[in-house]
Amino acid sequence: MPRLSYRKALTRALADEMTRDEAVFLLGEDIRVGASNVTPGLLKRFGPDRVRDTPLSEQAFTSFATGAALAGLRPVVEFQIPSLLFLVFEQIVNHAHKFPMMTGGQCAVPVTYLVPGSGSRTGWAGQHSDHPYSLFAHVGIVTVVPATPADAYGLLVSAIRHDDPVVVFAPAAALDVRDDVDFATLAPVPLGRGVVRRAGDDVTVVAVGHLVHDALAVAEELADQVSVEVFDPRTLYPFDLDALVDSVSRTGRLVVIDDSNRSCGIAAEIITSVLERVPLTAPPRRVTRPDGAVLPFAPVLDRAVQPGREQLAAAIQLTMKDRR
């Protein structure tokens, strides 16, 4: 079976959607040469009207995309650096997201914001290493964080076809993941649907994005002590709460590992939403970045503030010891 990398899955999704629908076009910095290595070859194939390289004017080109969407196109805006999302939060939230409601349903704003390389890239330091997906979930923008190549393909396709703004976070730590994939089976993955990556009986671990792979590794490591179910939400907003509640109803225990800062991070929302519906047999736990984290430069410091396997294993073991 052929191997598909996460990054190539994104490229394939863009090319397939641009082929299928003339309204789809790309906008972003250095995309003509594919500096993020997601758009190489697309300029030659689709031309400069559909692969529009932009000046370093994030606010203007983000709102340009809003206008193009109002006029019936389906822009995909690439951001090379996750921290640029802070710069364009205004354009996305105040305009793209609010227009349908503020106009009383007169319009749709189908824009996809693609962030290839979100989170830490080790050594890229404070202004290139953020993972602000919880912010977008908070304001109610459809937010996806695919973990696997097939999901990267399927969720990006669904994002482009969706009639509202969608932010697609492609974690740097997942970009080089490769899977054996039958290309004929690549298909849209519905937004808002999670998936159980590993079945288990004792505890449900919710892992976001690249951390799904860490959670699966920890589950395997602990397999002789505890049966871990790994739940990959894939979409953070809207969240597939029914599927997670179904899992936790069986296991009775919940641990969330999430690359957000702790306060108001998506882990807090996930845990609260489950607790509103299901009694747990032990207190829930979360493994996250610290409060207010700014990723330091030195690799040991960078790793020290990211959630990781050791902390997850410890959290699972503590949860198994706890009783209400």
Partner 1 sequence: MIDAVPARLYRTVRLIRRFEERAIALVRSGHIVGGIHPYLGQEGIAAGVCAALGEGDLVTGTHRGHGHVLAKGADPARMMAELCGRETGLNRGRGGSMHAADLSIGVLGANAIVGASPAILTGAVWAHRRRGNPVLGASFFGDGAVNEGMLLEAFNLAALWRVPVLLVCENNGYATTMPVAGAVAGTITGRAEAFGIPAVVVDGQDPEAVRQVTAAAVARMRDGGGPELVEARTYRFDAHHTFEHAVRLDYRTPQEVADGRSRDPVDIQGARLSPADREAIDAEVEATLDAAVAFALAGPEPDPAGALDHLYASGLTARGGS
Q: Which two tokens stand for residue 302?
A: 């960078």
Decide: is 109 part of the binding site for partner 1 (CB under 8 A): yes
Q: Contact at 8 Å (CB) between 73 and 25?
A: yes
Query: Does residue 279 have a cis bond before it (omega within 30 degrees)?
Result: no
Q: Which residues pair with 195 in a beta bridge?
A: 232
238 touching partner 1, by CB under 8 A: yes
Can you read off the two tokens belonging to residue 283? 């207190």
Kindly state the smallest distance separating residue 316's Cβ from partner 1, in Å: 29
> Residue 289: CB partners within 8 Å, gap ≥ 6?
131, 259, 260, 261, 262, 265, 305, 306, 307
Q: 87: closest CA among 130, 46, 40, 52?
A: 130
Q: In the complex, what is the shortest distance from the CB of residue 273 to partner 1, in angstroms, rounded to a whole number? A: 9
Residues 186-205 that bind partner 1 (CB under 8 A): 192
Per rule CB under 8 A, is residue 272 in the interface with partner 1?
Answer: no
DSSP secondary structure of 269-293: HHHHHHHTT---SS--EEEEEPTT-
> According to CB under 8 A, which one of 54, 112, 134, 148 is a site residue for partner 1?
54
Is 128 one of the annotated active-site residues of the chain? yes
103 binds partner 1 (CB under 8 A): yes
And the tokens for 225?
């002590």
Task: Pick from 1, 2, 44, 49 the residue near partner 1 by CB under 8 A.
Answer: 49
Contact code string over 66-85 relative to partner 1, x by CB under 8 A: xxxxxxxx-x----------
- Binder among 20, 33, 60, 294 for partner 1 (CB under 8 A): 60
How many residues at the interface with partner 1, by CB under 8 A? 43
Catalytic residue among 128, 138, 162, 213: 128
CA-to-CA distance for 234 and 254, rounded, in angstroms? Answer: 17
Contact range with partner 1 by CB under 8 A, out of 89-97, 148-156, 220-228, 250-258:
89-97
Residue among 41, 57, 53, 208 nearest 118 (CA): 208
Q: Which amino acid is at 1?
A: M
Q: Which stretch binds partner 1 (CB under 8 A): 98-106, 128-136, 199-207, 292-300?
A: 98-106
Question: By CB under 8 A, which span of 53-61, 169-177, 206-214, 282-290 interacts with partner 1?
Answer: 53-61
According to the 3-state scheme, what is the secondary structure of 118-138? ECCCCCCCCCCCCCCHHHHHH
Residues in contact with partner 1 by the rule CB under 8 A:
49, 54-55, 57, 59-73, 75, 90-91, 94-95, 99-110, 140, 142, 162-164, 192, 238
